[in-house]
Structure 1
């Protein structure tokens, strides 16, 4: 594609279902297997856009145009440039995923849009979507002749693995002909069946782990957890700080915040107990006046007092940095009150610096204080780096 094309990645809309299917057929016809006849099963898979959206998510890249806003989830934009699907284990569209894994399927870029970075952007957006589910990993398969896709996935940190009946073996190519289908009914199993290719082509299976710890699950808040998160957040802030009535009400106002932005929770993996929370903006937006273009801001990092010392605050902060990386942003910024010294120690440990030029004086009733600002450059490595001796947050 000549020149850079601005695009928005968002969820596919109902009226776009036929266009998403047509784009996917056209993209695969221009690929390394385009010379092969397309089976009825494969055609049905590609056409089942609405079903994939119901079982998981279908994302599209849309060319920005007049009336659209770059990166906004509600951008109208112009023509479709690419698409990717993410499905859950046990759904009819899943072949590899087990347990709480997410499966990436049907990444497709319009032939005329290739070379513009769309494939990578869509893969990263799918990874972010998997994080919102609390998925432990993203799995996928691609044909052995699809060298472009293999290079992309390996550049993004995916590892080849061999599916086995008892689990996963990494660092090995699974390139035998796929000749059996994964189960499509019932609850997702932790026994991984070999993936079946609809067109019976040789394939390579890939897996990208999303968690560094097995004891925590971080995901978006659920509707029935909003009140619990509000109570948790107020407890966390009242534990160490004196709150004005106005600020307490703002902290507890979780429902509108979750609707407009993203409210994440950290839950105990074994019990499901909520341990902490943080709020981030949706893709292309901001959550506070602090952030400037190219930056991600976050607010209201909270850890339930009984859960302190488990590194929950650190993991939620790392999530914000990882979201910025997945969105191609350069910095993470946030405000913090001068009395929040425990949070300041955490930010310093992770490499944040003060952003003195954006700090400001706040008047809260009869109190006057300086609202501090912190920033960190986003590492464009595969994952947010950890020091070798790191265990839990202070």
Structure 2
């Protein structure tokens, strides 16, 4: 069974490595390699946003970062929207519902804080995550699509709560 909770400081290094592994597995790293340091720096995400961890027993197997509008990690969130970023599942835990459990935790937090909408960006070529989000009811938000680098095109998605 997967447990989701706030990440603890001692888990930050492994969460960073899970993030890197998942993004490498999905071929989701810009060619210039600049995103590695962002993915590895789970401590900064925990300080500047809200870092959740998915556990299998006591072993971290996934993570997601919750971002409020106007926060340093916010990319597309507007007032009344909770954004999530850097959802990552350890490759060895893929296909076991960890990603879905993390997104469900995002919904739970958004409802508890009375956000009207959840938003995210996902790499255009990230077929598996896009499929998960679409099966969970997310819809395209093309007016918020953007490209942080020449080789990465991010697609906006939303789900009204």
Partner of 1:37: 31
Alpha carbons 2:31, 2:151 under 8 Å: kept: no
Change over 3 Å in CA distance of 1:88–1:97 after alignment to 2: same
**Aligned: 1:99 with 2:92:** no
Deviation per CA, 1:208-262, whole angstroms, max 9, x where unpaired? 112xxxxxxxxxxxxxxxxxxxxxxxxxxxxxxxxxxxxxxxxxxxxxxxxxxxx
Counterpart for residue 49 of structure 2: 56
Following superposition of structure 1 onto structure 2, how do residues 324-339 of structure 1 map, counting pairs within 5 Å? none
Cα drift, residue 81 of structure 1: 0.7
Which residue of structure 2 lines up, in the alignment, with residue 13 of structure 1? Answer: 8
Q: Which has the higher contact order (CA 8 A, sep 6+)?
A: 2
| Alpha carbons 1:55, 1:88 under 8 Å: kept | no
Alignment partners' CA distance in 1, 2:2 and 2:77: 29
Pick aligned residue for 2:112 from 106, 120, 132: 132
Q: Kindly tell me: are residues 87 and 200 of structure 1, through their superposed partners in 2, closer, same or farther at Cα, counting changes over 3 Å?
A: farther
For structure 2, list consecutive stretches of 5 or more residues without a partner in the other structure. none
How many residue pairs were aligned? Answer: 161
- Structure with the higher helix share, 1 or 2: 2
Across the aligned residues of Structure 1 and Structure 2, the Cα RMSD in angstroms comes to: 1.9
1:84 maps onto 2:35 in alignment: no
Superposition deviation, residue 163 in structure 1: 2.9
The TM-score, its normalising length taken from structure 2, stands at 0.90
d(CA) in 1 for partners of 2:131 and 2:85?
A: 16
Q: Which has the larger radius of gyration?
A: 1
Task: Find the aligned partners of 1:11 and 1:199 in 2 and give their Cα distance.
Answer: 34
Give structure 1 stretches of 5+ with no counterpart. Answer: 1-5, 65-76, 165-173, 179-196, 211-394
Distance in 1, matches of 2:95 and 2:84, equals: 21
| TM-score, normalising length: structure 1 | 0.39
Check whether the contact 1:39–1:198 (CA below 8 A) recurs between aligned residues. no
- Runs of 4+ in structure 1 over 4 Å off: none
Offset, 1:132: 2.3
